[in-house]
Amino acid sequence: MTTRLAAPERGWVALVWTHLHKDLRIEWRSREAINSMLFFALLVVVLFSMAFDPTAAASREIAGGVLCVATLFASVSVLNQAWTREIRHEVLDALRMTPADRSAIFVAKVLANFFFVTVVQGLLAPVFFIFYNLRPLGNGWLLLAVVPLGTWALVANGTFFAALSIRSRNRELLLPLILFPIFLPALLAMVLAVKTILTGDGSDPHLLWLKMLAGYDIIFMTVSLLLFDTVLQAE
């Protein structure tokens, strides 16, 4: 009887790239995730701007919240679909039967979702700044750290909990029910960090919210990575 190796001789990074490349190729062909997210996020931003008609000062106060909520709601649609292609036609079972490290599947999926959400945020940003007549009074460059860290917190948790709920009949309802309360600390940190940057009120000189976001990301990504294989094998 022939002996087989326990795992492929490909590096972990190469495995992540294999999964990520596949996810990006599928999205490039279907454009389902980005299109659905973009229209939803645009609607939220436009509707909020019309509903409140804020002054420039008020805009700076609420813009962080609107941006985060728009991203959150729009992301749920893509996170709910994160594992749909793997469930359809039982591809996930085929993946479970390969000797490759399963954590690579999760990391690639998080990276793909992060990329999709970031693309939508990139397209949304100019619209957002125009509709809310925004000009950051604080260090605007910090937004380039705050928004990705908050987005990572959202997609890492969302991808994990989407995997957890894939076998549930009501998974589309279940995901926000689990995700929103757990994402709450990161949401608050992101909203307050964005508000501090936009208003320039100097209320967070030591960047505590930013550090909290980074800590949140590290903790939840580590826990998700450790538990992902168990979640994948659960019946």
- Write the DSSP symbol of residue 140: G
Rg (CA), the chain: 19
- Residue owning tokens 């390969």: 98
Interaction mask 57-86, another protein, x per CB under 8 A: ----------------------------x-
Compute the least distance from the CB of residue 64 to another protein, in Å: 36
Contact call for residue 201 and another protein (CB under 8 A): no
Contact call for residue 89 and another protein (CB under 8 A): yes
Site for another protein in 130-159 (CB under 8 A): none
Please state the φ and ψ torsions of residue 119, each to the nearest 5 degrees: -60, -45
Contact call for residue 119 and another protein (CB under 8 A): no
Q: How far apart are CA 231 and CA 165, in angstroms?
A: 9
Between 95 and 127, CB nearer to another protein: 95
Site for another protein in 93-112 (CB under 8 A): 93-100
Helix-, strand-, coil-residue percentages of the chain, each rounded to 5: 80, 0, 20
Judge whether 198 and 63 are in contact, CB under 8 Å.
yes
* Identity of the amino acid at 42: L
Chain residues in the site for another protein (CB under 8 A): 1-2, 4-10, 14-15, 18, 22, 25-26, 29-30, 85, 88-91, 93-100, 233, 235
